[in-house]
Structure 1
Amino acid sequence: MNQRMLWREGRQSLRRRLLTTLLVPLTMLLLFNSLITYVGALIYANHVHDENLINDTQTLVQMMATESPDGRVTSQAQFLLEYEPEGRNYFSVFSAKHGLIAGNPVLKPPGGLFTGDGKQPQLYDVQIDKRSLRAASLLMTNTRDPGDQLEVTVAETLRDRHKEARQILLLSIPAQTLLILAAFMLVWFGVRTGLRQLDPLTTQLANREHDLAPIGDANVPVEILPLTRTIDGLFARLRSMLALHERFIADAAHQLRTPLAGLSVHAERAKASSDPETISDALTHIQRLIQRANRTSSQLLALTRAQTTVHEAGDSAPLNLATLIPELVGQRVHEALAADVDLGYDGPAGPLWVDGDRHRLQEMLDNLIDNGLRYAGRGSLMTVSLTRESTEICLAVEDNGPGVPPSWIERLGERFFRVPGSKEEGSGLGLAIVQRIAEWHNARVRYMTGSQGGLRVEVVFPSMRVA
C-alpha cells in the first residue's frame, strides 16, 4: 500500500505533520517581519518628513525676515503652506506682544518649548480638529520692533508618512513572501530527503520473516534510535516468549513420553487379558500414570508461568508475609495430616512486607511443602518459618527427613533433576518452579542441610518499607 492510499485512509502522516508544524511558524514569521518592516518604514518616513518640516519652517522664517518685516504672510505663501491634495497643512505666526499675526490661532507652541536662544527648530506633536499633526517651531526677532519676538510654526498631517510606510511595506511583502516560500520549499525538500533515511530500515524489517535479531544502532539516525531500541526490546521479549514455548513443548514431550508409553503398554495388557486381577492391576497402573501425567503437565505450565520474568503493571503489590504465609500453611494442614507429617509454622508477630504476587508466592510455597510431603517420609516434622535478616526477609521450609547428600545439593533447582536413589516418583520440576518464582521476586534461594539432618530451603526476599 503506497503512501497516497494511506493518506486517503486518513492515517497520520509524519511528513504532513512536520510541514504543518513548520508552516505555521513561517507564516507567523512573515507577519512579524511585515510588522517590523512597517515600523521601520514609518520611522524612516518620520525622519524624512521631520527634516522637510524643519526646512519649511526655516524657509518661512527667512522669507519673513526678508520679504515681510511686519510678520505678515502673503496670500500666495499662505496657500502654498496650507496646500495639501487630500487635506490641509497648518502654519501660525504669534507675536509676543501682539498675539496671532497670521495662520491658525490653535497652532500655538506650548509654553516652555524653547530653551536657550530659541534659534534651533523644535519638533512636537499636536492635535487640531481631531487630526494628529507634527509641528516644527522657531523663534525670530520682529524686525519692526526689536523688543518683540515671533513664534513661527509649520505643521503637517501624518497621512503622507503612513502612506509612504505602507508603500514600502507593500513593496517588501512580495519579496518576503517569496523568501518564505523558498524557505518552505527547502524545508519540504529537506524533510522529504530526511525521511528517506527510514527506507533502508523499513526494507530491512520487511525482508525479515522469522528473524528476531536486534536491529542494532549501526547506520540508524540518532532521532530514530529510541524507536529502534524499543523495537529491539520488543524482539527480545518475543524471543524470550518463543524460547519459553519451545522449551515447554520440549519439556512436555520429554516428560509425557514415559507415562504415555506406560499407558499404552498397560492398556494393551488389559485388553489382551481376561484375568480380572491382571485387568485390575493394569487399570491401577493406568490410573497412577494418568495422575502422574496430570501432575507433570500442571507443573510444566506452572514452570512456564514462573519463567516469565517480565513484570507488567499491577502484577505485584505490598504483601505482609507475616499474615500471608500462616494463612497458606493452614490450607495445607489437612494434606499433611493425611500424609502423617507434622506441619507447623514459626514466625514473628510484627509485619514483614515484601513487593510480590500472592498467587506466585502461594504456588512457590505449595511446591516447597509438596516437596517435603513427598520426600520427608511418614512421621516426619516440617516447619515453615519467617525471620528478618537485616534488610531482608527469609522464608524457610525445613524437614527432618532423610535429606539430600551434600554432593547433590548444588543441583537442586535444576529442571527435571531428581536425587539419585529416590524411591518417590516426581517430575523434578517443583524446586525449579520455586527457583523461577524467587527470581521473579528478585529473591534468592538457598539449599542446605537442616538442623535435624533433613533438607532446608530458604527463600530470601528484599524487604520493602510501607508508609
Structure 2
Amino acid sequence: MYSKPADSLRLQLLRWLLPPLLLLLSVNSWLSNRAAASTADMAFDRLLTASAEAIAEDVEYRDGEVIVDLPYAALELLESNIQERIFYRVVSPDGQTVTGYEDLPLPALKPKDGVESTLYTADYRGEPIHLVALNKRLYGTDVAAPVVIIVAETGEARDALSRQILVDGMVRQGVLIVAAMVLVWLGLVRGLRPLTQLRRSVAQRSPSDLSPIDAGNVPAEVRPLIEALNQHTARIERLISSRQRLIADASHQMRTPLAEMRAQIEYCLRQGREDLALQTLREVHDDINRLSRLLSQLLLQARAEPDGMGEPNKACVDVGELARQTAMEHVEAARRRAMDLGFDEPSKTASVQGNELLLRELIANLIDNAILYGHEGGVVNVRVSSGDGVVLEVEDNGPGIAPQDGEQVFERFYRARGVVVAGKPGSGLGLSIVRDIATAHGGRVELLQPASGTGLCVRVTLPALDATAAATWRHPSRDASGAGTPAA
C-alpha cells in the first residue's frame, strides 16, 4: 500500500504552532474589542458627565423660575472631527423643559438616593444615543425636587475611538506573531542544521561503509534514533560478514570434491574400461550425495544465523514431542548400522519459544552425527528434561571428541582428527549449525563425557517457556500414540 511521505519537520512544527496562534489571536481580538469599546465608553461618559456639570454650574432659580445660561464650553467638550450630533435638555422641578430638546428621554429608573448622575442609553429619532442625567438641587429655595440636566450624543466618536484602539492593538499583536514565526523558523533552521550535516555525511559514505554514525553533534532528542540505527547497522555488518565467510568457506569446500569428481571422470574416460566406469560412477554418486548434504547444511547454516532470525518466526515448541518425532524419523538410519536408538520422555511438558523448523534441524543434526560417527552396533540415547531450562541430550558410545578439539569442533568446516564417516571425513558443519541455532534461541551447547566413560554426550540448554506464556501459544500437534517408549 502506498503511503504518503511525511512533510518536513519545519512544516509540521509550523502547522502545529500556527493554528493555535491564530486561535489565540481570534480570542484576543474579541477580548480586545470589548476592552476597546469599554475604554471608549468610559472616556466619553466622563465627557458627558463633565458637560452636564458645566451646564449645571449656570443653572439658578430667580423670581420663581429656573434660569439657564447655557455655556458654549459645556457642549464644546463633546465636539470632535467625527460628524456626530449632540443633544441637551434641562427639566425644571415641575417636569417642564426649560431649554433643549423636549423629546429627549429621561432615565427609565429614578436615580438612587445620594446619586447625582445617571448614565444610560436610549433610541432617539431612530438611532441609539448615549445620555447622562444630572440632578442639581436648588439650595436656598423651597423647591424640593432637583433640576435635571440631560446631555446626549450619538455613538460615532465612540465607535471610531474603539476601532482605533482595536486596530492599534491588533497591528501590534500581528507584528509580534509574524516576528515569533520568523524567530521560530530561524530557530528550526539553526536547530536542524546538525541533522542536515548528518544527512550529508551519511549520503557521502561508500556503500561498504557500515561504521557507526557519530551521534555527538546531534540534538539529544535524535541521539536515541542514531544509536538504534548504529545497533541495526552493526547487526547488518555482522550478518554480511558471516555470509561472506560462509560463501568463502563454501566455495573452498565445494571446489575440492568437484575437482576430484572431474579428475575421476576424465581418468575413467581415458581408460575406457567398463569395470572402472562402474566403480567411478559409484564413487561419484557417493560424492554427489555428500556434496548435496553439504549444500543443504550450508543453506541451513545461513538460515540459522543468530542475527538473521527475527521474533516473527518464533512460536511455542514442545521440545519433548519434537525430539520424539525426530528420533522416529531416524529409526531406519539407525537400523542400517544395527544401532539401538532410544528416547527418554520428559516428566513434564518442555516448551520453548522458538522456530520449530530450526529446532527440528538441531535435533536431527545431533542424532544424525551420533549415528554416523558412532560405532556400528552401538547405542544412541535421546533425552529431554525440564527444570530451570529445557535440556536436550544426545548421547552415543562412539569414539567421542578429543579434549583439544572441544572448542574447535563448533567452527565451520573443522573436522576432528581421526573421525571419519565411511572412510571419508565429514563436512564439519553439524555442530556449527547446532551452536548457531541454540544461540539464536538464547541457549548454549556443551560437550560432556558420558557416565560410561566412552563416547560423547551433547547437551543443549534452552530457556523454558513458563506455563502461562505457553498457554497463549499454539503447540505443534502431538502424535496420538504418545511418547516415552524407545524409538528403536
- TM-score interval (norm. to shorter): 0.7 to 0.9
| Correspondences of 1:391-406 after superposition (within 5 Å) | 392-406=389-403
Native 8 Å contact 1:415 1:429 kept in 2 = yes
User: Where does residue 45 of structure 2 map in the other structure?
Assistant: 50
Letter in 2 for 1:141: R
Moved more, 409-418 or 185-194: 185-194
Amino acid of the structure 2 residue aligned with 1:435: R
CA contact (8 A) 1:92 1:104 kept: no
Residue in 2 that maps onto 1:464? 465
Unpaired runs of at least 5, structure 2: 472-488
Partner of 2:429: 429
Match of 2:213 in 1: 215
Q: What does residue 237 of structure 1 align with? A: 235
Give the whole-Å Cα distance in 1 for the aligned partners of 2:97 and 2:433. 115
Shift of 1:136: 4.5
SS at match of 1:254: helix
The equivalent position to 2:324 in structure 1, one of 298, 317, 326, is 326
How far 1:162 moved relative to its partner? 3.3
- Cα displacement (A) at 1:404: 2.8
* CA-CA distance at 1:104 after TM superposition: 5.7
5+ residue gaps in structure 1?
1-9
Q: Deviation per CA, 1:273-301, whole angstroms, max 9, x where unpaired?
A: 23332222222221121112111122122
Q: Deviations over 1:409-449 (max 9, x none)?
A: 34442222332111323111101100000110011112201
Which segment is superposed worse, 163-172 or 12-21?
A: 12-21
Once the two structures are superposed, residues 371-425 of structure 1 have per-residue CA deviations (whole angstroms, 9 ceiling, x without a partner) of 11111222222222221223x2112222233333444334442222332111323
Q: Name the structure 1 match of 2:300.
A: 302
Q: 1: distance between equivalents of 2:434 and 2:182?
A: 64
Q: 1:156 to 1:346 in 2, by over 3 A?
A: farther
The one-letter code of the counterpart of 1:108 is P
1:382 to 380, 383, 387: 380
C-alpha root-mean-square deviation of aligned residues, in Å?
A: 3.9
* AA in 2 matched with 1:448: L
Aligned pairs (5 A) from 1:352-367: 352-367=350-365
Are 1:204 and 2:201 an aligned pair?
A: yes
The TM-score with structure 1 as length reference comes to 0.81
**143, 158, 162: which one pairs with 1:161?**
158
Cα distance change on mapping 1:298 and 1:122 into 2, 3 Å: same
Contact 1:71/1:101 (CA < 8 Å) preserved in 2? no
The corresponding residue for 1:5 is none
Q: Which residue does 1:286 correspond to in 2?
A: 284
Per-residue deviation, 1:234: 4.3
Structure 2 CA distance for partners of 1:72 and 1:105, relative to 1, 3 Å = farther
What is the alpha-carbon distance in structure 2 between the residues aligned to residue 347 and residue 217 of structure 1? 53
Deviation at 1:315, TM superposition (A): 1.4
Q: What is the alpha-carbon distance in structure 2 between the residues aligned to residue 279 and residue 224 of structure 1?
A: 70
Q: Percentage identity across aligned positions? A: 32
Matched ranges for 1:439-454 at <5 A? 439-452=439-452, 453-454=454-455
Cα distance in 1, alignment partners of residues 368 and 23 from structure 2: 74
Aligned length: 451
Does 2:346 match 1:351?
no
The residue that corresponds to 2:338 in the other structure is 340
- Equivalences for residues 18-417 of structure 1 within 5 A: 18=13, 20-25=15-20, 27-28=22-23, 30-32=25-27, 34-65=29-60, 85=83, 107-108=106-107, 110=109, 114=112, 117-119=114-116, 121=117, 123=119, 128=123, 136-143=132-139, 144-149=141-146, 154=151, 160-209=157-206, 210-348=208-346, 350-390=348-388, 392-417=389-414
Q: Tell whether the 8 Å contact from 2:330 to 2:368 is kept in structure 1 after alignment.
A: no
What is the alpha-carbon distance in structure 1 between the residues aligned to residue 49 and residue 236 of structure 2?
A: 85
CA contact (8 A) 2:55 2:70 kept: no
- Which deviates further from its counterpart, 68-77 or 326-335? 68-77
- Structure 1 residues 52 and 329 mapped into 2: Cα distance closer, same or farther (>3 Å)? farther
Q: Distance in 1 between matches of 2:128 and 2:377?
A: 114
Amino acid corresponding to residue 48 of structure 1 in structure 2: A
**TM-score normalised by structure 2 residue count:** 0.78
SS of corresponding position for 1:464: coil
Give the distance between the partners of 2:129 and 2:345, measured in 1 at CA.
Answer: 97
